[in-house]
Structure 1
Amino acid sequence: MAKNQKLVLIDGHSILHRAFYGVQDLTNAQGLHTNAIYGFLNIMFRFLEEEKPDYLAVAFDVHAPTFRHQMYEPYKGTRKPMPEELREQVPVMKDVLRAMRVVIVEQEGLEADDILGTLAKKAQAEGMEVTLISGDRDLLQVADEHIKIRIPKTKMGKTEVEDYYPEDVQAAYQVTPIQFIDLKALMGDTADNIPGVPKVGQKTATELMVQYGSLENIYAHVEEITKKSIRESLIQNRELADLSKVLATIRVDSDVELDYDAAKAEGFYTQEAYDLFKQLEFKQMLSRFEKENVSRGGDIAKTFRKLEEQKEFLGWLKKRKAGSDLGLFLALEDGKLLGAAASSREETVVYILPVQENVQLSLFEEIPGEGTGNTDAADADMRQLSDGLLALSERVKLSVFDIKRYYRYIAQESTDKYFDILIAAYLLNPLKSDYDLEAIAAEHLGLTIPGRGEIFGKKKLHEAAALMPEQFAEYCCYGAYVSAAVAEVLEKKLEKAGMDKLMRDMEMPLSLVLYDMEREGVEVRREELKAYGDALVERIEELEQSIHAQAGVKFNINSPKQLGEVLFDTMKLPGGKKTKTGYSTAADVL
């Protein structure tokens, strides 16, 4: 183990739980539920690709009391039992990880948070960079200069990730990671059944922490607190506050150790893992095991050729035989064409437009030279290139990445000869959040290619084209090569999944419709929209009157507090659950 290496730690139960509720129900032929396992693996693969760690480990809770339960018996006592559909996936998830040679760390008496906190702090002390993956914000207290907390969140089917270093915790919660413990001690935590101080919610707790800095300092100045109810609650519940702080504190000094030799982030795709993936019917993931496809992008780059003259590039395009397959990549930024690359797989060529000839095209502009009457040399060259691309699209089968951006340069009569690798990758795995070229190459070709950031950093495309033409040319070539190489693989996978007709007859034609809609706009009939809005308002009023009639009293239906009082006090309905602010009106209660 050396300094400057990276360790990724995953909160097993937390991510599995998040995946279970974020992925639609899946079962294999034996009736085993697999959605949580599938979602977990997708999340793990994503972070492996993003973080590129040297070491990897997953921590799980052990089904046994911890030191916190011994201190406070009701700890986590309000949690609902794990759904059976999720429970049955836990041992299988562990089997999958073991088959992939991923180290699992668990220890009786400790929660996964304690294991993660301890391993993270020890690794940082030894000079390593650490990334913690969890859905649990309790771990924010562990964030440090070399410890990053990453919290994946799923919204509308898309996974977004919140990253926290100490400064991010401060920005989000107005406290440091260490102070986050005291914040939780004051406000409590209903999820873990940590009591906190009665009458002190997140807002009050934050104000107190900002003013006094720690739980101990708050009590040292408790008589200065002006709000009587808060002051008295703090005084009366000092023992509860101290207990809550102990319960909320993640142990970072436990005796748990990590075997770094076993935890090396390599050799995941074993035969045993392959057999398990097949048994679980994770067909889209099996390509990761196709070792004959695994190669480095650097070897492919040797086949790239930069053409200095537009005439030479157009000549290469003209030599392509009718009906042949070709990958095309256009470097576009703000409607401006900066470069074009084409690949037959055996050979990939690229032409970068001279900076002064980069002609601006907005979504609503025609290609220069088409009806503009402009005879400027740059426009003439641009028209020649556009004509060459149009002629190519009428003659060969084109594979591209994000075809909507290409339609202004290619024939639009039919999509029969076009294949969009971005759409295909999404259809095969709609649960991912990233579908860039690097991700598609890695998942479907087993190919590692450098990302845009690796090639030319944070520069915009036009800056890279002007300042780093060789690197920019390489970027374009990778786009064309991957588009050409992955098309056949994706087509076969779509056919196996029974989605080839969906791709050909629905998705590809729809892309052209969407392009036209974006270019032409959509007509809005204001009168009809207003009439529909008025009808909705009328229906809402009818429903409100009906609700008030059934309740026997008028109240604000949009107020959870008033709704709870009407349901459980006025109407005496069973099942009411009181919280600090009144009756709960959560979906499961209703």
Structure 2
Amino acid sequence: MDKWILIDGNSIANRAFYAMPPLTNSAGLHTNAVYGFTTMLLKLLEEEKPTHMLVAFDAGKVTFRHEGYGDYKGGRAKTPPELSEQFPVIKEMLKSFGIAQFELPGYEADDIIGTLTRMADEQEVETIVVSGDKDMLQLASNHVTIALTRKGVSEVERFDPDEIRGKYGLTPQQIIDLKGLMGDASDNIPGIPGVGEKTALKLLHEYGTVEEVLAHTADLKGKMKEKVEAHQEDARMSKKLATIFREVPLENKEEQLVYSGYDKAMLAETFRKLEFKSLIERLDLPEAGAGAEGGVAPEASYDIVFAGDLTAAALNDLLSRAESVYIEAYGENPHQAQLLGLAVPSGDRVLVVPYDELMDRAGEPVRNWLADSNAPKRGYDLHKADLALAWLGIELCGTTFDVLLAAYLLDPTESNQTLSFLMHRYNLPLVQPDEAVYGKGAKFKVPDNATLCSHLAAKADAVRKLVPLQQRDLESGGMDKLYYELEQPLAIVLAGMEKQGIKVNKGTLEELGAELELGISRYKSDIYTHAGMEFNIGSPKQLGEVLFEKLGLPAMKKTKTGYSTDADVLEKLEPYHEIIKLILHYRQLTKLQSTYVEGLLKEINRDTGKVHTYYRQTIAATGRLSSQFPNLQNIPIRLEEGRRIRKAFVPSEPDWMILAADYSQIELRVLAHISGDEKLKEAFIQDMDIHTKTAMDVFGVKAEEVDGNMRRSAKAVNFGIVYGISDFGLSNNLNITRKDAAKFIEQYFEVFRGVRGYMDNIVMQARRDGYVTTLLERRRYLPEIKASNFNLRSFAERTAMNTPIQGTAADIIKLAMVKMNEQLQERKLRSRMLLQVHDELVFEVPQDELELMKKLVPEVMESALKLDVPLKADVNYGVNWYEAK
């Protein structure tokens, strides 16, 4: 039996955008609306199992309704670019699902759905309409149910004619009359001023329709009579505007609505680009490059040999002619990864060394080869392999080429550069994905020895085939110098830092934890006093009931579980009640306790007394490093309690010091250099406070006239420009109107015309070349820069503007790390580089090298790359990381 589902695309996308927290993928694309839309679709598919499905969209701003009323929808705010850029992505996602989508110039999505529901009524087909717009209730019938989103997009309230009658005392057709009387501010439909839903329902219960209300105006009294008499035409027009047109010319649409399921490989590819990893796992979709069936192992063109089967001379001869190496360290955290073995191809043979053999006597020549810095190693994710081997007491030296690192440089927006995917990209025989060999998650299992050895050999052979192709591409793309002089040496530097680790004083952390517990307890008690009752502060549902029902605070938005109590909502409520500030501080303290105190205590290595983070070089499209296991880049420092966590990070040697140096406003200095803007350059050359200088120029005042709000606004727009901020984003940051935010941005560009010129020129260049580069030639391709779709093109343009700035800043601190490591080695210093945290480098330094390091570190950092404005690094030191700030 047929079942149709018709979805109001614009309405659901809007609901999802505002209901979901901000989400972006590593390419910087906003994805919260796409994610919310997708989860709603999955729920519908699982629960309803439709035979036909369609998502309707508005085709443009002008419809036939504007012909009779030019101000229709005129009061609507411009769609935020953070949302508009997601519409083409939503449509691409629908294609991957195999779901029909439709839009028609001159009509709205409502009209398309209205026409299809008329057809459904005629054919007596069960139909569900999904929307956030109450207008759709007029379409309800014995065959058509309206599902209105009520809590974000995950929960809906269903209405058939009986439900509408029970809730409003109206028929579906009278919903049009309801809107005719009360109007709709969101669509700029006037209705009768002063008539709200309650009054409109009362009138309709008595008279039935707009026309009958107007015919009985004489029966009305007082101001109500005056309002109705004065706005009769508004009421008639409003009813007309609210009426969904159900005669849209749709030809053969029923056939196009047929839904027969999705292609797993296509959906996996889309989700992978969007980085919806949880949805890939939820639907058990195949790994990239694997195809719908998970890929087929290639036919081997080599013989597998084992170390124990070779003489020492034969084994050493094979290793001396090694073409690549593949080291299988299974698990995300390399400090805890399970080493399964390795494989080394040489001519028509591949040496496979399982873990047990590597660790016993037969594996000694292989271990020696791995540690030989004169024996070149070309492999895949050798950074991770280096760490996994180190914990087993095995050195890895002589790494010269890493396929994963090269793949990242060649396409930094690709989030899953597996060997399977890379072989697929270069049209080489596919390698079986790991999941097909080991299973996934809790189902992970090391296979039998024959299967394992075959898999390792195939991967090593794949590396051998990929290396020359990637070397060619790096050279043709002008990134060979970036690879060999920056990224490859940096991988070795990072591995050294990670193996070294940073010592954490467990007692200091525990003391801080005890203090936090006392503070949490005090805040909890104060919150209960203000609330007049005890409740679970950590429960959004209970907190919402206390704030919005018991205390009567204004509810800003709702979620699928009730009232929203997220940070944005609470910050806006702060002026209304003292309890809000207490709750915000309570949350901060509980997060510090659970995530950073308790979390760090769990990460301290029992043998070393240190935490050993893992720096990922191949995650961020901008070139930034990413810290994991634990993430030491996210330790909060806005709160004093957060900053105090750094007290626990101490030198690993007695009487040594922690020294920290961080770049001052590096991205704005890069912007000054790249744009050539004279005012920006002047500020940095004269060592002025850049935010004060910006406020002076934008507001046209002297330095002494710049107040706190002016500087705060200038700071927000300075950093916002670097990250491609919109008027929507700036208005949220400064809590001002979008109109004021847009005006401020325009004033900024009027003053800093060199910045405007740079942004215009870089977009033109990107459109011409298809990519942008950093000062060190890091490249980012922007295929959407020539897209006909405005939203896709706009996103690519913003990326073109900010990538050279952010990417160059990332390159500079990486370059400083490589050069600093060289200085430490050349000068034979005992000082050690321990951490990189955004624009900061952290060292542990013996007392007799302190004076030298205080000069050397900033010298190296400030001379890492020559710019038209000076780079500046501030240095501090102390007995712990806290004092070094």
TM-score w.r.t. structure 1 length? 0.49
Structure (1 or 2) with the larger CA radius of gyration: 2
TM-score w.r.t. structure 2 length? 0.33
Between the two structures, name the one with larger relative contact order (CA 8 Å, sep ≥ 6). 1
